Structure 1
Amino acid sequence: MAISDDYFMGKVSGKLGNLIIYRRNGKLCYRSKPEKISVPPSSRQIYQRKAFARVSSFLAPIRSELEIGFSGIPGENSKRFGKALSLAVKKAVIPENGEPVLYPEKVQTSMGDLLPPSDCQLFWENENRILLNWRPNSFEGNGKEGDRIFYLAYDPQQKQKWSVTEGEYRKNGGMVIQFPWSGPLSGRFYHFVSFYSKRKSGFEFSDSVCLGRI
């Protein structure tokens, strides 16, 4: 960078060839434009980009549910979705033969310090209705009877989802979930379950549990 005390160029500023001209503290300054240096990405960067793209594609259809499940993250919804995305890249992607492979069972649809569901079981009562059971572990750790179920079923192939955001209470130990579509639906969806509680400061969630594709 050069500085001139003379206003030999008048009040000109901006770009002139390879120079950028500007004023600072009443003095005329000019510097060379930075050179563009093209550096090919490393293998690690390529891997991370692929992992990010695959996770982003998987999570995009359930973004609104993730913004609920990660509502303990302060700030805008974009930060909550970003946390869900980064957590999935970290925990749900495993390298296989140098390529990132996403395991949906390891994806979290909620995150928090609340006591998570325990001993969950899921049964199809008919072609479009399921029975979800869990152990009513109230008062273990920070679990309370009034904690409620947050449930999400997600079919990543068809980009189809069904959620229950105000489920049964922890103390009840079970609930029936009716899907709005005709069946059979078994084997299509990954089922995610967590608990949440409404506090004075907002909602508190547990980490989610994935029951697999049932």
Structure 2
Amino acid sequence: MAKADGIFSKLRGKIGGVVFYVVDGKTYVRQHNDEPKIGEPSPIQQLYRNKFSMASHFLRPMKIPIEFGFQAFRKGMRTGMNAAMGYTTKNAFYGGGIDPLQLLPDKVKISLGPLTRAKNAQVSWADDEHVRFSWENNNGEGSARHSDKVMLVLYNAEDQRVEYVLEGSFRSTGQQEVKVLGGKGHEGKLHAYISFHHHSRRYKTRSFSDSQYLGMV
């Protein structure tokens, strides 16, 4: 893979034996191979394909919060979703041999980073339309600041519906409610995730905590 400059930066699609891609306004080029693959995949290859397919199906509806939470891992043609897919296929599966292959939602991450995580985070229904997340203000522990902002995700994997807040309350606030379209029709089906992030005006970067899975609500 290479970055295309000059007149090549205006090209799109396949030309001869190369393909031009655009990611974040930049054009990249890589070689295209028209030769079909021969033979059946090995057991290891098939296991990876199965993991990739299951991970893609689970993560795709959460693309917006995942791209936000994995923004530090973007590089060239590598997107936040690419990074999340790689993490999920390596860390969020069980089985695949004697036991059936299973994706484990509690091992999935919607963000990764060095920021101090939420302390004693909990989630519950506040009323028929809102879910409340709460946590302790652990300002001063590790890298935690009172001005860190919370990111929240509620995900019904059965219906592939997602509710999220990217830049919510401050860490010092201790709680945030999320409105759920359809309300308690989703009760008991929503996977809940929480993480914090901090924006540095000086360096124009945003650091995240590893997200935490709070169970289903």
Decide: shared fold, TM above 0.5.
Answer: yes
CA deviations 1:7-31 (Å, max 9, x no partner) are xxxxxxxxxxxxxxxxxxxxxxxxx
Q: Determine which structure has more spread, i.e. the larger CA radius of gyration.
A: 1
Question: Match for residue 59 of structure 2?
Answer: 59
Give the letter aligned to residue 62 of structure 1.
M
Equivalenced residues, count: 180
Shift of 1:184: 3.5
User: 5+ residue gaps in structure 1?
Assistant: 1-34
Stretches (4+) displaced over 6 A: none
Check whether the contact 2:156–2:186 (CA below 8 A) recurs between aligned residues: no
Q: Residue in 1 aligned with 2:83?
A: 83
Task: Specify the code of the residue in structure 1 equivalent to 2:126.
Answer: E
Give 3-state SS (helix, strand or coil) of 1:89's partner.
helix
CA-CA distance at 1:37 after TM superposition: 8.1
The 8 Å contact of residues 127 and 185 in structure 1, kept in 2 or not, is answered as: no
Partner residue, 1:169: 170
Structure 2 unmatched ranges of 5 or more: 1-34
Counterpart in the other structure of 1:146? 147
Give the root-mean-square deviation of aligned CA atoms.
Answer: 2.0
| CA distance, structure 1, for counterparts of residue 111 and residue 183 of structure 2 | 28
Offset, 1:204: 0.8
TM-score (norm 2): 0.77
Q: What is the aligned partner in structure 1 of residue 92 from structure 2?
A: 92
TM-score, reference length from structure 1: 0.78
- Structure 2 residue aligned with 1:48: 48
Partner SS state of residue 153, structure 1: strand
For residues 141-169 of structure 1, the C-alpha deviation after alignment (integer angstroms, 9 at most, x for no partner) is 11101001000111111010100112111
Q: Identity of counterpart residues, as a percentage?
A: 25
Residue 115 (str. 1) matches residue 127 (str. 2): no
